[in-house]
């Protein structure tokens, strides 16, 4: 992906309960510590979380809040309005029919000859999520065209239907009954999946979360949520 795209990270827990214990809620945000990775403050990230005891995946999108050096090197990641605080995870991670992958792409959205531009932030075989596209009707199909796509991505993505609007964006379902849309959406998903095959991966330490032990360093002070800095 291009230099401005989100960095792709993967993390594996044994269970969703362990994810709950490592998401630190603060001021409407969720903070997560990722070990042994060095990234610049403010760098966007897509974090895919998987579990040993489940086929479910959780996709979190945010940015690097602060970095730690020394005995426990790593980065604190900040996720805004994910809804994945410990309170909302009490019922467990809801299953998804299709795997979603983080995807950074600017797209042109054409609905009944009214054009807007948004940012695609994730994609599955069946659809995608697009931010900052304004109000779109669910009863009229949209036509999606990718702007400055990666070489392996399709430029004309085809037709989709708006199925949900939330958090300043929309979820769309590809109209795969259209042969060109079906081919293009499959090509896009395969290309993004190839990008994810090179993502950095980490696993939850075996000795963590035993007898109430949490090996995360102390989360950044609340002021760090608004003044980004590096911790030495």
SS (H, E, C) 128-197: EEEECCCCCCCCCCEEEEEECCCCCCCCEEEEEEEEEEECCEEEEEECCCCHHHHHHHHHHHHHHHHHHC
Contact at 8 Å (CB) between 51 and 89?
no
pLDDT (tens, 9 = 90+) of the chain, 232 residues, equals 444 678 999 999 999 889 989 998 877 788 999 999 999 999 999 999 999 987 788 889 899 999 988 888 999 999 875 554 444 455 455 555 678 899 888 999 999 999 999 999 999 999 999 998 888 899 999 999 999 888 899 999 999 999 998 767 899 999 999 999 999 999 999 999 999 999 999 999 999 988 878 899 988 875 555 555 444 4
* Model confidence, pTM: 0.78
- Three-state SS string over 10-64 comes to EEEECCHHHHHHHCEEECCEEEEEEECCCCCCCCEEEEEEEECCEEEEEEEEEEE
Q: Show the tokens assigned to 61.
A: 């999108």
Q: What pLDDT, on the 0 to 100 scale, is given for residue 125? A: 93
CA atoms within 13 A on the CB side of 106: 7
Q: Is 227 helix (H, G, I), strand (E, B) or coil?
A: coil
Q: In degrees rounded to 5, what are phi and psi of residue 107?
A: -130, 145
Residue 60 sits at φ, ψ, to 5 deg, of -115, 135
Q: Hey, is 225 helix, strand or coil?
A: helix
d(CA 174, CA 176): 6
> In the beta sheet, which residues pair with residue 68?
74, 231
Domains of the chain: 7-97+197-225 (2.40.10.220), 101-195 (2.40.10.220)
């Amino acid at each position: 992906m291009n230099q401005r795209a989100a960095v792709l990270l993967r993390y594996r827990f044994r269970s969703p309960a362990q994810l709950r214990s490592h998401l630190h809620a603060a001021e409407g945000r969720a903070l997560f510590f990722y070990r042994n990775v060095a990234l610049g403050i403010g760098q966007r990230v897509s974090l895919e979380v998987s579990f040993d005891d489940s086929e479910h995946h959780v996709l979190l999108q945010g940015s690097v809040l602060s970095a730690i050096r020394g005995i426990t090197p790593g980065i604190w990641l900040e996720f805004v309005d994910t809804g994945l605080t410990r309170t909302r995870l009490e019922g467990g991670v809801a299953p998804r029919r299709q795997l979603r992958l983080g995807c950074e792409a600017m797209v042109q959205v054409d609905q009944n000859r009214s054009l807007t531009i948004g940012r695609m932030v994730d994609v599955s075989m069946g659809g995608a999520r697009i931010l900052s596209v304004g109000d779109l009707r669910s009863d009229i199909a949209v036509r999606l065209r990718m702007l400055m796509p990666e070489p392996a991505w399709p430029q004309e993505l085809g037709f989709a239907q708006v199925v949900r609007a939330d958090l300043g964006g929309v979820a769309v379902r590809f109209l795969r009954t259209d042969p060109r849309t079906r081919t293009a959406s499959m090509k896009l998903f395969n290309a993004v999946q190839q990008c994810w095959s090179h993502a950095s991966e980490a696993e939850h330490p075996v000795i963590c979360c035993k007898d109430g032990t949490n090996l995360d360093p102390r989360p950044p002070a609340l002021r760090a949520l608004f003044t980004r800095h590096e911790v030495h």
